[in-house]
Amino acid sequence: MGAGRKVTTVIVGAGHAGLAMSRCLAERTVDHIVLERGGVANSWRTERWDSLHLLTPNWQSRLPGFAYEGDDPDGYRTMSEVVAFIDAYARAISAPVETNTRVTSLSHDGDWYRVETDRGAWDSRSVVLANGACNIAHIPRVAEGVPAGIATLTPMDYRNPGQLAEGGVLVVGASATGIQLADEIHRSGRPVILSVGEHVRAPRVYRGKDIQWWMDKAGVLDERYDEIDDIVRARKVPSMQLVGTSDRKTLDLNALRDIGVTLRGSLAGIRDGKVLFSGSLRNQCALADLKMNRLLDTIDDWARENEVAGEVDPPHRLEPTVVDDAPALGLDLASGEIKTILWATGYRPDYSWLNLPVLDRKGQIIHDGGIIAKAPGAYVLGLQFLRRRKSSLIDGAASDANDLADHLLSFLAGSSGSARGIAAGQVAWRSSILEQR
């Protein structure tokens, strides 16, 4: 193995999470580099659909040392605005980003991590995986049964309704992505059937304030991973049914039903050209209503205890989700009713380049709040409920990166031999990091 360029810490990925970590390491004078396969904010540039707006308000994208300063704190950014925001952050913190540099392999050799890229190798004492939680669209196994003649795509391929054939669309999945795309596609004149599994319902605005404002103020988003009864389950909870629009509309199943979207149960199988839906729609909706009302109860309790009642509207509840008496359990794909299936069934990270024994049998990284114990000096950022409920949001990166940067610093301070030579505080950030091993 040839010599690589030497640096204390390699950060993989220049999304907001990798940049937040860069800023935290800079504050601690840890010599580091950020390797990015595309440009800064690559995911927002290349993997999102045209009409997407953040579902978190502008004020809520707070990065270490950087916050929204415009005149529309309650608005929701377009994709180009998100890219501009993250780009501006990278410039403001002078992040040492190597763009167009794809990490192709990460392995461990003695005290050093070997980071292979398509532009040469790096050797580092520690690594931070900030490559994102949503690199690959998850498609369920049942998709193998889709007959020829039906087009399929995922939200990573989808840009706008114009790319779809005329005719009906089956959208599978009713979390934030599924409901937003069902709404847009149905409004384009293509009838939509929405297959609904477990989902999280929420009003956009509650008692006159954005639901994110309430969750932020009431501390719901700050709940820690080590205070939750079932963190494994909490890390799988789907995203909230929310959309960011200027009219601040609530986009739930009732709103979709009102415009003519057909609701069906979760997709249980596809056999002989027929889709089979589960009979759980009513239960799934009742459960989502129950959980939403529990969240609103928590918010009301907080409002009472903190005496904000004078500043907000009185408590109210949404109508229960309306479900047909007996929603159909089958759909014949040969009937011509459906031309396209859109799998809005979640995302997952891509660790195909990771040559470390740190994955469980499902291919997920084994970590404790982002600390990868099986690979000392390795950290992961940006995963769902990594350290806090808000960990996968832009707003969650600051506190997580700060915590993990502290841990990384103590790892460097405690490590031995040559590692100490480039430990925190001993090499100025962005010093001559190109020294050969």
Residue 120 or residue 330: which is nearer to ligand FAD going by CB? 120
State which of residues 214, 277, 347, 411 lies at the interface with ligand FAD (CB under 6 A): 347
9 lies in the binding site for ligand FAD (CB under 6 A): no
**Alpha carbon of 119 to those of 33, 45, 106, 305: distances in Å?**
14, 22, 14, 56
Closer to ligand FAD at the Cβ: 177 or 321?
177
Footprint of ligand FAD on 132-161 (CB under 6 A): 132-135
State the Cα–Cα distance between residues 82 and 382, nearest whole angstrom: 16
Residue 382 lies near ligand FAD (rule: CB under 6 A): yes
Q: Does 12 bind ligand FAD (CB under 6 A)?
A: yes
Burial code of 184-209, b = ≥16 C-beta within 10 A, e = fewer?
A: bbbeeebebbbbbbbbbbbbbebbeb
The number of residues that bind ligand FAD (CB under 6 A) is 33
Sole binder of ligand FAD in the list 37, 114, 186, 389 (CB under 6 A) = 37
Q: Up-side HSE of residue 78: CA atoms within 13 Å toward CB?
A: 5
d(CA 28, CA 311): 41
- Helices 397-414 and 16-27 cross at an angle (nearest 10°) of 50
CB 19 within 8 A of CB 63: yes
Which one of residues 36, 123, 210, 400 is an interface residue with ligand FAD (CB under 6 A)?
A: 36
Which residues, at least 6 apart from 278, have a Cβ–Cβ distance to it below 8 Å?
Answer: 265, 266, 267, 268, 329
Q: Which residue among 6, 32, 48, 204 contacts ligand FAD (CB under 6 A)?
A: 48
Residue 130 makes contact with ligand FAD by CB under 6 A: yes
Rounded Cα–Cα distance for residues 82 and 66 (Å): 13
Nearer to ligand FAD, 45 or 291 (CB): 45
Query: Does the footprint of ligand FAD cover residue 257 (CB under 6 A)?
Result: no
Q: Does 398 interact with ligand FAD (rule: CB under 6 A)? A: no
Give the residue at shortest CB distance from ligand FAD: 15
Radius of gyration of the chain (CA): 23
Summary count for the chain: helices (H), strands (E)? 10, 21
Per-residue binding string, ligand FAD, 170-209, x by CB under 6 A, is: -------x--------------------------------
- Asked if residue 15 binds ligand FAD (CB under 6 A), the reply is yes
Using CB under 6 A, list all residues that contact ligand FAD.
12-18, 35-38, 42-43, 48, 54-56, 102-103, 130-135, 177, 347, 353, 382, 392-395
